[in-house]
A = this chain, B = another copy of it.
């Protein structure tokens, strides 16, 4: 593939990607953009110049919801058109380069969607087993796990874009040696490596979505960090699930990578045994081979890679998650996020949370001669990156990052 724009060879934002996001420049209001290399293409400008046939009040919005609501036929066509124009020597984009191409260093990125509901799944067998051992030594993998794609509702209001600081939450913690809880900032601040699916089509309350239709309801994927306070979570989570141990913040990467872009990186779902109920049966390659890396940067230090894992390990795929989520008639809306649950691999260096990496804090990971971590400390920056690479084609998600700020 040739093109007229200078695009770094190893970029996540190759011509194969072209993800959508919300950006602003200076004091201008946020709008829809497409990332290519180190530039953001301004879709509102392209519309104004007559290159993009979309209604007003779509590309000049502070979230992608109206854009997504155009429908996949339309948004996929826009992406393909841009791809074509980026390849053409005689491209109409060249004419508007100064007005419509913003250097990435000059823009501010925003939360890509207005999130209606956020659902967090628990779809990694390795993670469920690792965590289960710690929370329930006598019953690590609950009997329903291989039948039910377990999930719970998370908090939508506290989802923030990559780069937002994360304040260490306070709450009730029950020390093992105390009969009663104490009040404290969390001592077990953690991250969770996840992928979030952004819903791209409204479904109807009372109607289920089959695994065959399911992916038509997904606009694209983002990196997702489900920040967790383990000590708060441990004390509160029975019997109704996690609440304050999770809902203080979740971070997402700003660029939504479309399923179109990811088509080349489809892969098989791991063998499911026992066979799930018929409504969860599916055909085709429904997992995605996305390499994930976790880097921890202690205050004034370098980055240390603390985990490498892959989205392809997930036991339950997105099509199954959607079929399950709607089997009872629950409706999905544009902008909803379905997060995968922590993505852990089988080996200890592929675990997707501090809880697993440090064995519940009992075995801190060593970063350098004078730095180790059981959980995250104030001043730590945690960065998750994700990319796909195969047959000389590479594309990625950029990153989702967050710095831990002391409790106020």
Contact = CB atoms under 8 A, between A and B. Distances in A.
Interface of A: 116-117, 120, 122, 132, 135-136, 142, 144, 147-148, 150-158, 160, 167, 169-172, 174, 180-183, 205-208, 229, 232, 235-244, 247-249, 274, 277-279, 324-325, 327-333, 336, 408
Contacts of A117: 155-157
A241 B148 CA distance: 13
A121 B208 CA distance: 28
A331 B206 CA distance: 30
B239 A151 contact: no
A198 to B, nearest CB: 15
A180 B160 CA distance: 40
Contact of A327 (B120, B170, B333): B170
A240 B152 contact: yes
B171 A327 contact: yes
Contacts of A332: 157
Q: Which 4 A-B pairs have the closest CB atoms?
A: A241-B241, A169-B328, A153-B153, A152-B240
Given A152-B152, A153-B153, A235 B331 contact: no
Contacts of A122: 240
B240 A181 contact: no
B328 A152 contact: no
A168 to B, nearest CB: 9
A400 to B, nearest CB: 17
A12 B42 CA distance: 55
A156 B330 CA distance: 10
A120 B333 CA distance: 21
Contacts of A229: 328
Contacts of A331: 157-158
Contacts of A207: 408
9 contacts: A148-B181, A148-B236, A151-B243, A170-B328, A170-B329, A171-B327, A237-B239, A240-B242, A248-B328
Contact of A147 (B136, B154, B180): B180
B247 A183 contact: no
Given A152-B152, A155-B330, A237-B240, 17 more contacts: A116-B116, A142-B238, A150-B236, A150-B240, A152-B240, A152-B241, A153-B247, A157-B336, A158-B331, A167-B206, A169-B327, A170-B208, A170-B329, A206-B248, A237-B241, A248-B328, A248-B330
